[in-house]
């Protein structure tokens, strides 16, 4: 824009505008000369437009009273009606609360654990023990949510499950965790931790490996013990990584674990376990209320987008590190 304005105002001067024109022309010729690269881009772009951008056009049904037989062109426009319904719906308020509660529990309880695992693992000198521990704690990450639900349905079973056997032998009453509104959120948080705490430690382990050894040697000469070195060198050394991961994590606060909850919940625990992602699924594909479901999804996407963008902005300002 600026260049063009400049070119117009200085049109009499000649050399500058000609130079710009030549540069622009050579830009296209340059691209043409390198057309092979653009040809290689075609399959990727086709994928991108067909499967990523085409669905974005479908978002317009959030502003319609969409009817699957009339299609997007034939359906009536209703403006913001679905969003008004969303804001006044007690059901959505409950779902939104569940999402935030589960997410916040997950962050508060599960975020520090990988950092702690990485710090402790760093203190282990026996290499084979270290390797065995790492192998075991990374494993759950590779199991699907369906398998994990299967594992926990079994050990938490009210009839002969390991945990309930223990509770009963201690004189307690057996609990049906998967059917209890009281325990369902804890179950979701615990299983999410079981799956990911080990895996999430990898980033911090790598950050610790990047700390200069001289710092430790200097501290040791000054008489600092291992615990003090851990608290005053290792921990501050990985602080930027911790901050970055924390900001990233906050960006996805509206995703309380849709796939996880879909494999674990049942109508009995909708009251405490239904989150935005599962609600969109239930309303959209279960009740066929396409327009309202899309409106909920759009609300979720927009808020999520703003959260991630602000997170990236903060990390760029504060840590000088951008997420992408």
Do 321 and 315 form a contact (C-beta atoms < 8 A)?
yes
Q: Closest distance between another protein and the C-beta of residue 13, in Å?
A: 26
Q: Shortest approach of another protein to residue 170 CB, angstroms?
A: 15
Q: To the nearest whole angstrom, how small is the minimum distance from the Cβ of residue 307 to another protein? A: 10
Q: How far is CA 204 from CA 114, 160, 178, 210, 254, in A?
A: 8, 39, 33, 10, 24
Q: How far is the CB of 234 from another protein (least distance, A)?
A: 12
Cα(52)–Cα(231) distance, integer angstroms: 46
Question: DSSP state, 252?
Answer: T
Question: Smallest distance from the beta carbon of 140 to another protein, in angstroms?
Answer: 6
The residue among 13 and 309 lying less far from another protein, judged by its C-beta, is 309
Strands 76-77 and 64-65 turn out to be antiparallel
Beta strands in the chain (DSSP E): 64-65, 76-77
Q: Which is nearer to another protein, 137 or 192 (CB)?
A: 137
Contact 124, 130 (CB under 8 A): yes
Residues 6+ apart with CB under 8 A from 172: none
* Nearest CB to another protein, comparing residues 89 and 122: 122
Q: Which is nearer to another protein, 115 or 117 (CB)?
A: 117
């Amino acid at each position: 824009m600026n260049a063009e304005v400049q070119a117009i105002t200085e049109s009499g001067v000649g050399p500058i505008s000609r130079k710009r024109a030549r540069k622009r022309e050579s830009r296209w010729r340059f691209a043409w000369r390198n057309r092979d690269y653009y040809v290689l881009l075609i399959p990727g772009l086709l994928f991108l437009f067909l499967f990523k951008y085409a669905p974005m056009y479908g978002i317009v049904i959030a502003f319609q009273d969409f009817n699957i037989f009339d299609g997007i062109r034939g359906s009536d426009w209703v403006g913001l009606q679905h969003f008004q319904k969303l804001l006044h719906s007690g059901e959505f308020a409950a779902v939104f609360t569940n999402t935030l509660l589960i997410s916040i529990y997950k962050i508060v309880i599960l975020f520090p654990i990988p950092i702690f695992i990485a710090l402790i693992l760093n203190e282990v000198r026996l290499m084979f023990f270290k390797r065995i521990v790492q192998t075991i704690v990374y494993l759950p990450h590779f199991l699907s949510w369906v398998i994990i639900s299967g594992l926990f349905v079994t050990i938490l079973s009210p009839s002969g499950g390991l945990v309930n056997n223990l509770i009963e032998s201690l004189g307690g009453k057996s609990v049906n965790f998967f059917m209890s509104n009281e325990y369902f959120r804890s179950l979701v948080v615990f299983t999410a931790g079981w799956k990911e705490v080990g895996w999430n430690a990898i980033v911090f382990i790598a950050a610790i490996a990047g700390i200069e050894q001289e710092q430790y040697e200097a501290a040791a000469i000054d008489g600092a013990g291992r615990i003090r070195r851990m608290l005053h060198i290792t921990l501050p050394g990985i602080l930027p990584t911790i901050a970055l991961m924390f900001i990233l994590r906050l960006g996805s606060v509206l995703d309380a674990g849709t796939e996880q909850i879909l494999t674990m919940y049942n109508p009995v625990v909708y009251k405490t376990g239904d989150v935005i992602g599962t609600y969109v699924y239930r309303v959209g594909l279960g009740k066929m209320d396409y327009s309202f479901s899309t409106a909920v999804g759009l609300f979720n996407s927009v808020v999520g987008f703003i959260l991630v963008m602000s997170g990236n902005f903060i990390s760029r300002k504060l840590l000088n590190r951008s997420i992408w």
